[in-house]
Amino acid sequence: MGAPDPFPYEGPIAAADGTRPWNHYLWPTESWWISHEPEFRGFPGLFHFGYVALMDGRFSTDGEVYSIEQDCNCDGQRCLFATRAAAIRASAARMIRAMRGMARHESPYMLTSLSREHMQRGVNWVRAKVAEICGQPAPEPRRVPIVSEELPEGQLNLFETRKAVACE
């Protein structure tokens, strides 16, 4: 079985399969990691997207019980969605935002940096993966601007994440 939960959760939140949060956390139902793809070996392992299917039929982009209870993650972004596709798109958009931000920083003090070329390839992989998962035609690869460059509204056909709105 494993170690007992050090901080058992007694609230109403559970995964769709009935799994209760362990240490106030639910692991993703599905997740996609770019570094697991053969052509992206060596890509920073922190880039992934996914969701948690909840017992009540909603989908969360965050596994933390407190975020799910408040529909607000630690970055002040909404984390609950009515459909699997919406949660996947939101989670993928957040990953793209993180990659674009990391490509902008070329500081020797960063533990991990991402070249613009890797960021471009990574963003196009995410767009193609989301289309595949959601049963849509594969998008044409395109040049994606980094954070400091202008990004037209809806450019990536994912949820907009440039303007984080604090959750109430």
pLDDT tens column, 11-32 = 999 999 999 999 999 999 999 9
The answer to the question of residue 152 being in a domain is: no
Q: Which domain holds residue 118?
A: 30-133
Note whether residue 13 is domain-resident: no
The mean of the pLDDT values for the chain is 84
60, 67, 75 from 72: Cα distances, Å: 10, 5, 8
Residue 167 burial class via C-beta count within 10 angstroms: exposed 0-12, middle 13-18, buried 19 and up? middle
In a domain, residue 47? The reply is yes
pTM of the full predicted structure?
A: 0.82
**In this structure, is residue 22 part of a structural domain?**
no
Give 55-67 pLDDT, tens digit per residue.
999 999 999 999 9
